[in-house]
């Protein structure tokens, strides 16, 4: 009995030290400590202006690994991920996409590339899937990437324009081919990454979209 009481007291002391308390048999954060995951989710914004500082490859690898740890249907992992940080690729793809849809204004004096001037990007592909789950899996991966980037002090932006241009422009095909996706895999999203040169304000969210089912 004494041993059991000692273990209970030890566990309680450890949880108190980590800022957790037991309430109604559920582990919750104590009121004097924030929840880092929730803070990151609420603080994350789409960044469309970046500095020219390169992102270390170890951070890009870590972000990509966070991406592939996303939930996915039946653990199919039916995605392929490519990390792009080659300035020549960005410049060449930008030139090939001129006149097409891409991210950024080429008339802007600060314009560097068609990927919102990001210094790195993560491209994600998946095969066609009649169930639609493959695209959902890609979306879940993308969210993990964006949140991991934010937690590491980086900005992120999910881009559709460059995907459309890369997959439709004959001039851009060599740059799409360089991503070397497997047969049957199609580019779905490109997420620009880099050190932010802006701090966008939060846009209003319609909380009325959330309803309980009674």
Tell me, what CATH number does 83's domain have?
3.40.109.10
Query: Are residues 47 and 83 both part of a single domain?
Result: yes
Residue 9's pLDDT is 38
Q: What is the pLDDT of residue 51?
A: 97
- Residue 67 to residue 137: CA distance in whole angstroms: 10
171, part of any domain: yes
Same domain, 86 and 189: yes
Residue 86 shares a structural domain with residue 151: yes
Both 18 and 47 in a single domain? no
Contacts of 137 (CB under 8 A, 6+ apart): 70, 71, 72, 73, 76, 77, 78, 79, 126
| 25 in the same domain as 57 | no
* Predicted local distance difference test score (pLDDT) of residue 15: 34
Residue 203 is assigned to a structural domain of this protein: no
134 contacts 67 by C-beta, under 8 angstroms: no
DSSP state of 38: H
Number of domains in the chain: 2
Does any domain span residue 207?
no
Query: 208 in a domain, yes or no?
Result: no
Q: How is residue 154 annotated by DSSP?
A: -
Tell whether 124 and 147 lie within a shared domain. Answer: yes
- Same domain? For 94 and 6 the reply is no
Q: Is residue 116 part of a domain?
A: yes
Instruction: Tell whether 24 and 58 lie within a shared domain.
Output: no
Tell whether 16 and 92 lie within a shared domain: no
Same-domain pairing of 29 and 100: no
Are 94 and 190 found together in one domain?
yes
Residue found by looking up tokens 């990454």 in the block: 193
Query: Does 122 fall in a domain?
Result: yes
Establish if 157 belongs to a structural domain.
yes
Its domain, for residue 168, covers 42-194
pLDDT at 31: 41
* pTM metric for this prediction: 0.83
In this structure, is residue 205 part of a structural domain? no
Residue 102 buriedness (CB in 10 A; 0-12 / 13-18 / 19+): buried
- Do residues 59 and 135 share a domain? yes
Mean pLDDT by 10 residues, the chain (214 residues): 38 36 36 81 96 98 98 97 98 87 77 94 98 97 98 97 93 96 98 97 96 97
């Amino acid at each position: 009995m004494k041993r059991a009481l000692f273990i209970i007291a030890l566990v309680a002391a450890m949880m108190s030290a980590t800022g957790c308390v037991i309430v109604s048999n559920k582990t919750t954060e104590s009121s004097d400590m924030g929840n880092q995951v929730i803070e990151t989710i609420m603080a994350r914004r789409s960044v469309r202006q970046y500095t020219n500082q390169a992102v270390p490859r170890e951070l890009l690898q870590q972000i990509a690994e966070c991406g592939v740890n996303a939930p996915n249907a039946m653990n199919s992992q039916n995605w392929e991920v490519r990390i792009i940080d080659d300035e020549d690729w960005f410049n060449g793809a930008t030139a090939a996409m001129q006149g097409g849809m891409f991210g950024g204004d080429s008339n802007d004096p600060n314009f560097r590339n068609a990927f919102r001037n990001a210094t790195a990007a993560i491209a994600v592909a998946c095969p066609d899937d009649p169930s639609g789950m493959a695209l959902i899996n890609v979306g879940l991966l993308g969210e993990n990437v964006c949140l991991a980037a934010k937690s590491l002090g980086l900005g992120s932006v999910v881009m559709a324009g460059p995907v459309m241009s890369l997959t439709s422009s004959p001039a851009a095909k060599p740059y799409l081919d360089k991503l070397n996706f497997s047969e049957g895999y199609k580019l779905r999203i490109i997420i620009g990454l880099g050190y932010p040169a802006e701090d966008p304000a939060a846009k209003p969210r319609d909380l009325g979209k959330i309803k309980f089912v009674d």
